[in-house]
A and B are shown apart, each in its own frame.
Chain A
Amino acid sequence: MPQHDYIELHQKRFGKRLDTEERARKKAARQPHELAEKAQNLKGLKAKMFNKERFKEKALMKKQMLAHEEKDIEVNVEDVKDGAVPTYLLDREQQQQSKVLTNMLKQKRQEKAGKWDVPIAKVKQMSEGEMFQVIESGKRKQKSWKRRINKVCFVPETFTRKPPKFERYIRPTGLRFKKANVTHPELKTTFSLPLLGVKKNPQSALYTTLGVITKGTVVEVNVSELGLVTQTGKVIWSKYAQVTNNPELDGCINATLLV
Chain B
Amino acid sequence: MDQTKKKIKTNQITLLAPDTRVFVTLINPYGEEAQKSLELSVNTTKEELQSILQQLVKTEEDQVYSFFHNNIELVDTLNQLIASDPEYKLENTFSLTYHPQSLFRIQPITRQTAALEGHEQPVLCVQFKTHGDILATGSGDTTIRLWDMLTETPIATLQGHKNWVLCLAWSPDCKYIASGSHDGQVCIWDVQTNQLKGQPLKGHTKWVTSIAWQPMHLDEECTLVASSSKDGSVRIWSRISLSCLIAINAHQKAITKMLWGGQGYIYTASEDTTIGVWNKSGKRLQELKGHGHWVNSIALHSDYTIRCACFSEGNTDINTKQAKVLYDKILNGKNERLVSASDDQTLMLWEYTSSKPKVRMTGHQQQVNHVQFSPDGRYIVSASFDKSLRLWDGYNGSWIATLRGHVGSVYQVSWSSDSRYMLSASKDSTLKLWSLQKKKLAFDLPGHADEVYAVDWAPIGGEKAGSGGKDRRVKIWRH
A interface, CB within 8 angstroms of B: 77-78, 80, 82-91, 102-104, 227-235
Selected from A85, A87, A230, the residue in CB contact (under 8 A) with B210 is A87
- Closest residue of chain A to B296 (Cβ to Cβ) is A88
> 8 Å CB contacts to A: which residues of B191-247?
207, 209-210, 230
Contact across chains for B142 and A80 when beta carbons are under 8 A apart = yes
Give the distance in Å from the alpha carbon of A233 to the alpha carbon of B443 in the complex: 11
- How far apart are the CA atoms of A229 and B294 in the complex, in Å? 30
Chain A interface secondary structure, helix, strand, loop or mixed? loop
Q: Given contacts A84-B122, A87-B210, A231-B447, list 6 more A-B pairs with CB under 8 A.
A: A77-B183, A78-B183, A80-B163, A82-B121, A84-B140, A86-B125
A104, B449: Cα distance in complex, Å: 8
- Bound CA–CA A229/B405 (angstroms): 12
In the complex, the answer to whether B162 meets A103 with C-beta atoms within 8 Å is no
Q: Which one, A77, A83, A232, contacts B162 given CB within 8 A?
A: A77
Chain B residue nearest to A106 in the complex (CB): B449
Our pick among A77, A102, A227 for the contact of B428 (Cβ within 8 Å) is A227
Complex CA distance for A170 and B122, rounded to whole angstroms:
56
Q: For residue B208, give the distance in angstroms from its CB to the closest CB of chain A.
A: 8
Q: Which of A78, A80, A102 has the most CB of B within 10 A?
A: A80
A80 adjacent to B446 (CB under 8 Å): no
With A84-B121, A88-B297 already in contact, the answer to whether A102 and B471 are too (CB < 8 A) is yes
Which A residues are in CB contact (< 8 Å) with B453? 85-86, 89
Q: Is the CB of A80 within 8 A of B271?
A: no
Residues of B within 8 A of A229 (CB): 407-408, 428-430, 446
- Measured between beta carbons, the chain B residues less than 8 angstroms from A86 are 124-125, 166, 411, 453-454
Using Cβ atoms and an 8 Å threshold, which residues of chain A touch B454? 86
Q: Name the B residues within 8 Å of A88 (CB-CB).
A: 256, 296-297, 369-370, 411
> Is A78 within 8 A of B449, CB to CB?
no
Q: A22 to B18: give the CA distance in the assembly, Å.
A: 127
- Minimum distance in angstroms from A85 CB to a CB of chain B: 7
| Residue of A84, A90, A230, A231 most packed against chain B (CB within 10 A) | A84
Contact of A91 among B139, B271, B429 (CB under 8 A): B271
The digit string for B17-47, where 1 denotes a CB below 8 A from any CB of A, is 0000000000000000000000000000000
Task: Select from chain B the residue with minimum beta-carbon distance to A92.
Answer: B367
Complex CA distance for A220 and B453, rounded to whole angstroms:
32
**With a CB–CB cut-off of 8 A, which chain A residues contact B411?**
86, 88
Tell yes or no: B450 within 8 A of A by CB: yes
B142–A87 touching, CB < 8 Å: no
User: Known: A88-B370, A229-B428, A229-B429. Is A78-B162 also a contact (CB below 8 A)?
Assistant: yes
A235 to B428, CA, bound (A): 9
| From A82, A84, A90, A235, contact of B407 by CB (8 A) | A235
